[in-house]
Structure 1
Amino acid sequence: MTLIFAMLLDAALGEPRWLWDRVPHPAVLMGRAVGWCDKRLNRGTARRGRGIITMMLLGLCAMALGGLLEEFGPLVEILVVAMLLAQRSLVDHVAAVGNALRLSLGDARLAVAQIVGRDTAAMQPSDVARGAIESAAENLSDGVIAPAFWFLIGGLPGLLLYKITNTADSMIGYRTEKYLEFGWAAARFDDLLNLIPARLTALLIVVTHAIWSDWPAIRAEAPRHRSPNAGWPEAAMARALGVALSGPRTYHGVLTDFPYVNETGRKDIGAPEIDATCRALWRVWAGALGLAILLSFVFH
């Protein structure tokens, strides 16, 4: 029941500005912990070993904190889980891109830059919409389904372990000269923890949109993604919306020609497709909530 109430609370309130303007969000605190380790340990030799030790320490501390918080009872559990779910905030950020695109391309570029890591200065309307939809699909897995999954598996220790790993991956899990070795453990552990949730997210998209016949194509296209996991929700979302995703994009001034997912889908897309994405996010959330209710009845 804890997860059910937490999902409802997150959906209702999202990220209340009045609270997080006054105190740091848990994700911010996790980011500071990762940054502290990066600053002090990402130096000298044996950086891969230092990165492994970093992830072990962060993971153990996160699990210990989760165990401590569980001692305060179900109300605290509900509040912590709700804080670490991102359904409402995800929908709000994606919807903001669609609303900005209706105003001007410049506004849309600024809005989508808040949720994607690629270059946005030269994006056209279809590129903006594609970026927003891809971010929505990936973050549906990382920010909603995966945290819920690991809470069901391991309680607050499991949830906090997942969140600190995902935070570390987003900060140091890059294949750059600075992080190739030090961030190796964060990236690999994040891949492992997202292995099941990413595929579960794709399955929930398929079930809630009744596109069973597209499952073989989704399975075939998912591995084309540069991430071993993100391709699953992205391929499923592309089929659910009937659009082409992935494809060429620019990072740090360099054009990268990624293959399209659902290449025969619509490529001339815009605000209406972003609106459809927001509806899809809520439909999948409702499916996940229904699954949580079902599991609650089965195991209690």
Structure 2
Amino acid sequence: MSVAIILVLAMLLDAVMGEPRWLWSRFSHPAVLMGRAVGFLDRRLNATQGGIVAGIAALLLLMFGAALIGWALSLLGGGVQIVIVAILLAQRSLVQHVTLVADGLRVSLGDGRCAVSMIVSRDTAAMDQSAVARSAIESGAENLSDGVIAPAFWFLVAGLPGLMVYKIVNTADSMIGYRTPQYERFGKAAAYMDDAMNLVPARLTCILIAVPARVIATLQEIAKDAAQHRSPNAGWPEAAMARAIGVALAGPRAYDGKMQKFPWVGGAGARIIGPKEIDASVRMLWQAWGIMLGLTILLALI
């Protein structure tokens, strides 16, 4: 069974099943296990040695272990791989979390803030409705790239070992890839590797959003907005989503009580937004997913 066929079936399984609560209430999710592995090396190497060399060593250990596990699991056959890949994709759960923010806002601003606090790290307590909506839309666009398109891409490129390596790198970046005194040096390798592995998937996600929205002609403007983003990759899907649904994203927001004056993405778009715009972004998430599925089916047929 080819990797393309496996990916098609895994994408469909994820879209139907999502993240079964009954399963992960009894067993540890692979993402949790990966987080524990990162945390273990953080405690062992960062606490005692620190520094860039220790961070590189930790990353290489994580990548080698992930590749080895991926290779071993791939020997169990196509059926096992379909289930594992479906577990490591996140389309349905992503859509559900973003939709919950729109549903929360329809009830009250407080419910919207509560829902969005589950998917973003920025301060949410003082957000107005537009800020809540922007946060949900941005999170959806960025995580479409990180949680769906990038894992699918690396599975097509390098099979289950490639997917497992991507997931452990992405997990490491989310845990230690910060510019803080604790992680500035130790997490640098993880942050750079995550940027490198997301270079192609982020731009692919941008195109997958722009094509069905018929804004591909504005790709040059999207690229300009993406270049202003603090991340070399996240700006691409966010800028595409901004134009796809006609809203302004990013802009000023607070982290740890400090207001950060980030530039607007798609600044000409609407800035007063709410549940309706979140719903529009969810439709775009599914359309982009559908095109990726279609492309993978073509690969399988070829």
Normalised by the shorter chain, which TM-score bucket? over 0.9
Residue from 126, 135, 139 that aligns with 2:130: 126
1:288 is aligned to: 292
1:200 is aligned to: 204
Give the whole-Å Cα distance in 2 for the aligned partners of 1:148 and 1:110.
30
**Are 1:189 and 2:189 counterparts?**
no
Quote the offset at 1:208 in angstroms: 1.7
Provide Cα deviations, 1:217-252, integer angstroms capped at 9, x if missing partner: 101111100000000000000000100000000000
**Are 1:80 and 2:60 counterparts?**
no
Give the whole-Å Cα distance in 2 for the aligned partners of 1:143 and 1:169.
13
Give the whole-Å Cα distance in 2 for the aligned partners of 1:101 and 1:245.
18
- Letter paired with 1:38: D
Quote the offset at 1:47 in angstroms: 1.5
Residue from 95, 100, 107 that aligns with 1:96: 100
Say whether the 8 Å CA contact 2:248–2:268 is kept in structure 1.
yes
* Mapping of residues 158-197 of structure 1, within 5 Å: 158-197=162-201
Quote the offset at 1:209 in angstroms: 1.4
Give the whole-Å Cα distance in 2 for the aligned partners of 1:45 and 1:165.
21
- Letter paired with 1:187: A
1:27 is aligned to: 31
Check 1:57–1:211 CA distance in 2 against 1; reply closer, same or farther (3 A cut): same
Quote the offset at 1:212 in angstroms: 2.1
Quote the offset at 1:43 in angstroms: 2.4
Quote the offset at 1:149 in angstroms: 0.0
Quote the offset at 1:69 in angstroms: 0.2
- Letter paired with 1:144: V
1:268 is aligned to: 272
Quote the offset at 1:297 in angstroms: 1.4
- Letter paired with 1:257: K
**Are 1:3 and 2:4 counterparts?**
no
1:153 is aligned to: 157
List alignment gaps of at least 5 residues for structure 1.
none
1:113 is aligned to: 117
Quote the offset at 1:206 in angstroms: 1.1
Provide Cα deviations, 1:117-147, integer angstroms capped at 9, x if missing partner: 1000000000000000000000000000000
- Letter paired with 1:188: Y
Give the whole-Å Cα distance in 2 for the aligned partners of 1:45 and 1:22.
36
Number of corresponding residues: 298
Give the whole-Å Cα distance in 2 for the aligned partners of 1:12 and 1:208.
22
- Letter paired with 1:239: R
What secondary structure sits across from 1:42 in the alignment? helix
What secondary structure sits across from 1:250 in the alignment? strand
- After TM superposition, the score normalised by the length of structure 1 is 0.98
Say whether the 8 Å CA contact 2:207–2:216 is kept in structure 1.
no
**RMSD of aligned Cα (Å):** 0.7
1:236 is aligned to: 240
1:247 is aligned to: 251
Give the whole-Å Cα distance in 2 for the aligned partners of 1:214 and 1:16.
39
Give the whole-Å Cα distance in 1 for the aligned partners of 2:48 and 2:68.
29
Provide Cα deviations, 1:2-33, integer angstroms capped at 9, x if missing partner: 00000000000000000000000000000000
2:146 is aligned to: 142
Provide Cα deviations, 1:246-286, integer angstroms capped at 9, x if missing partner: 00000000000000011110000000001111111111110
- After TM superposition, the score normalised by the length of structure 2 is 0.98
Instruction: Name the % identity.
Output: 60
Give the whole-Å Cα distance in 1 for the aligned partners of 2:49 and 2:147.
34
* Mapping of residues 34-49 of structure 1, within 5 Å: 34-45=38-49, 47-49=51-53
Give the whole-Å Cα distance in 2 for the aligned partners of 1:196 and 1:32.
28
